[in-house]
Amino acid sequence: MGIGGTPDYCFVLRRHCNLLGYLVQDEQGHFMLNRLPSEDDPMFTRLRKIEGRDGMLMDTLNGHYGTFCKAIESDYQTWRKANF
């Protein structure tokens, strides 16, 4: 479990730290926790939903790419043999 009781809490904070001001960076480039959002923070809730949709999009695109790769595998190997 991450900060706030959800595993994705730290990931969302780290990814959007400049936008939300939850983390600060010192002179050596290290990040420190500045504050935590409340569980009902509307911006944090929105960012969590965006992250979820982003993950679903990536899963969908990866699935389509895998199908595409399988479909062209034999043609691609034929092309490679003919050109190299």
Q: What is the pLDDT of residues 19-45, one digit of tens each?
A: 567 777 788 888 788 888 787 888 778
Helix (H) or strand (E) holding 57, with range, is: helix 42-83
Amino acid at 55: G
Count of domains forming the chain:
1
pTM of the model as a whole: 0.54
Phi, psi dihedral angles at 41 (to 5 degrees): -60, 120
Burial classification of residue 51, based on how many CB atoms lie within 10 Å of its CB (0-12 exposed, 13-18 middle, 19 or more buried): middle
What's the token pair of residue 8? 């994705």
Structural tokens at position 84: 């190299």
Q: Residue 39: which domain range?
A: 3-83
Give yes or no for a contact between 76 and 84, defined as CB atoms under 8 angstroms apart.
no
The pLDDT, as a whole number, for residue 11 is 61
